[in-house]
Amino acid sequence: MNEVKATHKCYKCGMCMFHCPVYSVYRNEVYSPKGKINAIDSIINTKRNNPDDLSGIFRECNLCHHCTKICPAEIDKTELVIKYRAQLNKTKPVGNYEAILSNIKKNGNPYSSNGGLHKNATKTQGIEKEKNRTLLFIGCTIRHKLPEIVDSVVSFLDKSGIDFTVLDDEPCCGNILNNLGFIQDARIIAKRNISILNKFDKIITLCPGCYNMLKSHNGSAGAKFEVNHILEIIHKARNQLESNLKEPVFFQVPCHIYNTDKKFEKIIPDVMSIFKQASTSLDVTNAPKCCGAGGGMPLYDKEYVMKRLDILLQNEPAQNIVTACPFCYLNFKKLESRQVSYITENLDITGDIKIDLRSTDESFQNFTQNKEEKVNLPMILVKYKASSKLKKIFNQ
Ligand code: SF4
Ligand code: SF4
């Protein structure tokens, strides 16, 4: 929906405001989703174009999709925010992104000036080179900020009987660039990634951002791989999994996957039932409450993020927080009073399991029937064998 249609369709009902994490902190309609629609309306009709005035409005957004999900007019505010961030980036970027842009362009990831921990890990003993058509796409945030998570993921996939590979030089998926409004740069990265990733049948991601970005390449962009988030794999194995956390758990549902792909409305409650005493960030409308980490907000409004965490957890007694999103993980880690973990760090497998990775997605099955012959995989692919050694490897 273009912005003119969106402003005409808006009923000004304000329902979106009361589900917006930014509004919950600032209590100012200007920064709410309704305020963003009003700003777009005035840009179109009064040619309002003061970048100082507008950049705050489009910067203050977690891109959590709550406002889209509950909107009776089905207006996608997230898409509009990214579009206006892109406009503002031409004159006054909504934040200081130079380091991120330069890192992605020079080093292939937003965080590091070198190849990163994962690249070092592939050179070490205990990792066997092998061809495989299922790729574990680790994602830049976990590779560079939370490598300790990888150990538990590899262990879980190994014990589940899944053969997989990882890429020695895994590319950035481009989601961060897209969310910050560098849409053209993200498209260039997507095009390059498709040629690398089309060598796989299936890609397992650990990050909702990677999931959405890689999934968006299917169809018109020419990608031929199926994308799964790790929650889908856990869901397949749920009857043979139990949590090693005996205390109550607060399950932080990742907005960027629950609100964008309906299948997770079924998958996530099933997965949560593994944690017997779990409470959840789902609210009365069954929408997840955002932790405040999305949309680049920790880059330019740290105070907002801390206030949002306070609001989210104000009546929550559980000390253990479990999530399946690296951005939520990093955000909750700021709280010294709570323990945060990635979901695979808390799972014990009871008995032997062999997860069937065949697609249950009909549209994907039809699509793959016409798929051309695969080319041989490059030798940069490796398969993790000795998962127990990974923590040691990453600490080197
Ligand atoms: S919920 Fe939708 S229709 Fe209502 S004010 Fe928000 S954008 Fe407009
Ligand atoms: S996407 Fe989330 S943070 Fe942004 S305006 Fe909508 S509800 Fe608020």
Ligand 1 touching residue 40 (CB < 6 A): no
Backbone angles phi, psi at 199, to 5 degrees: -80, -5
Rounded to a whole number of angstroms, the CA Rg of the chain reads 21
To test the ligand 1 pocket, which listed residue (13, 23, 32) has its Cβ within 8 A of the most ligand atoms? Answer: 13
Report yes or no: 326 and 207 within 8 Å, Cβ to Cβ: yes
Rounded to whole angstroms, the Cα distance separating 394 from 2 reads 46
Per-residue confidence of the chain (396 residues) as pLDDT tens digits?
Answer: 787 777 889 999 999 999 999 999 999 999 999 999 999 998 888 777 777 778 889 999 999 999 999 999 999 999 999 999 998 888 877 677 788 888 888 888 888 756 555 554 443 234 344 567 899 999 999 988 888 888 889 889 888 888 888 887 888 999 999 999 999 989 888 888 998 999 899 999 999 999 999 998 776 668 889 999 999 999 999 988 999 998 889 999 999 999 999 999 999 999 999 987 778 877 767 777 899 999 999 988 999 999 999 999 998 899 999 999 999 999 999 998 899 999 999 998 887 777 877 665 544 443 344 443 332 322 223 333 333 332 332 232
CA of 62 to the centre of ligand 2 (A): 6
For residue 125, list its beta bridge partners: none
To test the ligand 1 pocket, which listed residue (5, 8, 15, 40) has its Cβ within 8 A of the most ligand atoms? Answer: 15
Q: Nearest residue CA, atom 2 of ligand 1?
A: 71
Residues 6 or more apart whose CB falls under 8 angstroms from that of 245 comprise 275, 320, 322, 341, 346
Ligand 1 touching residue 34 (CB < 6 A): yes
User: H/E element holding 112?
Assistant: none
Q: What's residue 125's pLDDT?
A: 32
Which atom of ligand 1 lies closest to the CA of 70? 1
CA of 22 to the centre of ligand 2 (A): 7
Ligand 1 touching residue 75 (CB < 6 A): yes
Among 43, 38, 44, 45, smallest CA distance to 17 is for 38
Architecture of the domain whose range is 3-89: Orthogonal Bundle (1.10)
Backbone angles phi, psi at 206, to 5 degrees: -110, -5
Q: Nearest residue CA, atom 7 of ligand 2?
A: 20
Rounded to whole angstroms, the Cα distance separating 135 from 3 reads 38
CA of 19 to the centre of ligand 2 (A): 8
CA of 29 to the centre of ligand 1 (A): 12
Report yes or no: 202 and 135 within 8 Å, Cβ to Cβ: yes
Length of the chain: 396
Which two tokens mark 218? 């299917």
Among 311, 292, 203, smallest CA distance to 254 is for 292
Residues 6 or more apart whose CB falls under 8 angstroms from that of 177 comprise 100, 101, 104, 183, 185, 186, 189
Q: Nearest residue CA, atom 8 of ligand 2?
A: 20
Looking at all shown ligands, the one closest to residue 34's CA atom is: 1
Looking at all shown ligands, the one closest to residue 84's CA atom is: 2
Q: What's residue 117's pLDDT?
A: 52
Three-state DSSP class for residue 254: coil
Rounded to whole angstroms, the Cα distance separating 138 from 173 reads 10
Q: Nearest residue CA, atom 6 of ligand 1?
A: 16
Note the ipTM here: 0.98
Q: Nearest residue CA, atom 4 of ligand 1?
A: 13
CATH (residue range 238-349): 3.40.50
Rounded to whole angstroms, the Cα distance separating 176 from 182 reads 9
Among 57, 56, 52, smallest CA distance to 41 is for 57
Q: Chain-centre distance of CA 56, in angstroms? A: 23
Three-state DSSP class for residue 229: strand
Ligand 2 touching residue 245 (CB < 6 A): no
Q: Where in the chain is the domain with CATH 3.40.50?
A: 238-349
Helices (H), 296-360: 297-300, 302-313, 326-332
Q: At what angle do helices 183-197 and 98-107 cross, to 10 degrees?
A: 30
Rounded to whole angstroms, the Cα distance separating 175 from 209 reads 6
Ligand 2 touching residue 64 (CB < 6 A): yes
Three-state DSSP class for residue 287: coil
